[in-house]
Amino acid sequence: MADEHVEEFDSRDLAQMRKKIASWFRNAQRDLPWRVERNAYRVWVSEIMLQQTTVQAVVPYFERFMKQFPTVEALAESEEADVLRLWEGLGYYSRARNLRTGAIQVCEQFNGQVPKQVDQLLEIKGIGRYTAGAIASFAYNQPAPILEANTLRLFVRLLAYDGDPKSAAGQRQLWALAERFASCRNPAKVNEALMELGALVCRVSAPQCDACPLKSSCRAFLSGRQEELPVLQKRIAVTRVVDACVAIQRKNKWLVRQRTSEERWAGMWDFPRFSVESVDHDGKLTPAISRRLHEEVRQTLLRDWNVTAEIHDDLMEVRHTVTRYRIRLLALIANWQEGSPSDGEIRWVTTQQLAELPLSVTARRIADWLHERHTS
């Protein structure tokens, strides 16, 4: 049973398939900013941003990032907070911190040149098997394999692989096929064409098999199973929680804290925030519940934050999801009376200064709300 799928294609099949997708790619490829102007640094930055993130979401972030940090050296000399500010809203913020660390690594270990060997690329923080193969092949035309969301779906369908493609056995076979595809004279074009075909034609839902240059080789299409594959595991169920967040005012400044490396949104700034038990998940904020909320926030601020504050009635609600949590966030405004948090880094900042700090997405919404209240 081992590897029987990969042997579906012999070397002649593969040569034909490469030729077909390369031809298709010439006409169908999108003009993406990291393709129009290409160097190893731009490929690297784009690949990191694109991890688990759609092309559409990345494009504006990539443009801004390259404007501010056009070279590896510029990024290596940056402040982490400035990189995080540019990353704000994109998610998976460890990518930003690792990318900056990686830039320093490249300057110190590799003389400022992004390496072209996969094993050297793998030494760089934040670069794994896929990204190493992507940089090596796209930027240097090295025959390095890639396997990611688009090519995984494409390969699973080509092979009609009906096991779990994320399992060890599945990964081994799919990487083996990727390796064979990339073993050619033009791996940059072949790899990119495979990805683009997966993205534009071999889509998750409603794949455009009629327009696919590989349909005559696709076992899923030939057996009518393209909509059923790949077979992926179910996701972890979401948990609903209610959080509270307090914007504490002292004259014209607001209390913010930097989230620690142990927390979510590490390195980003946030208003004091914590889980509240006294509010029902979906209940409306009746006056009684609102009083309970005020009381719990007041007590928590005193107990866990060493701050006494007078809480106002102003309240805004933000709903968001993060990983497996669906969060209902209730943001309150309070007047500082005394005390100061002893945990982590604290700053008192104006709404103007908030604009320059990297904030959690919810904190940004609240900051905008404060700014609007203040100026109206």
What positions carry a catalytic annotation?
47
SS3 (DSSP) at 57: helix
Q: Nearest distance from residue 11's CB to DNA, in Å?
A: 26
Q: In the chain, what is the straight-line distance between the N-terminal and C-terminal CA atoms, in Å?
A: 70
**Segment interacting with DNA, rule: CB under 7 A, options 71-79, 104-112, 233-241, 301-309:** 233-241
**Segment interacting with DNA, rule: CB under 7 A, options 2-10, 42-50, 287-295, 338-346:** 42-50
Structural tokens at position 96: 């930003």
Look at phi and psi of residue 126 and say left if phi exceeds 0, alpha if psi is from -120 to 50, else beta. Answer: left
According to the binding rule CB under 7 A, does residue 116 interact with DNA? no
**The pairing of beta strand 325-339 with beta strand 239-250:** parallel
CA pair distance 57, 371, nearest whole angstrom = 26
- Give, in order, the Cα–Cα distances in Å from 323 to each of 73, 195, 327, 351: 33, 26, 10, 29
Stretch 316-335: interaction string toward DNA, x if CB under 7 A: ----xxxxx-----------
Residues 6+ away with beta carbon under 8 Å from 319: 326, 327, 328, 329
Size of interface with DNA, in residues (CB under 7 A): 57
Could you say which of 238, 275, 306, 339 contacts DNA (CB under 7 A)? 238
According to the binding rule CB under 7 A, does residue 270 interact with DNA? no
**Segment interacting with DNA, rule: CB under 7 A, options 103-111, 199-207, 307-315, 334-342:** 199-207
CB contact at 8 A, 340 and 307: yes
Q: Which is nearer to DNA, 31 or 313 (CB)?
A: 31
128, HSE (Cβ side, Cα atoms, 13 Å): 6
According to the binding rule CB under 7 A, does residue 52 interact with DNA? yes
Stretch 80-109: interaction string toward DNA, x if CB under 7 A: ---------xxxxxx---x-----------
Q: Nearest distance from residue 334's CB to DNA, in Å?
A: 24
SS3 (DSSP) at 305: helix
Residues that bind DNA (CB under 7 A): 32, 34-35, 46-47, 50-57, 89-94, 98, 125-132, 134, 148-150, 153, 167-168, 192, 195-196, 199, 204-206, 232, 234-236, 238, 264-266, 320-324, 360-361
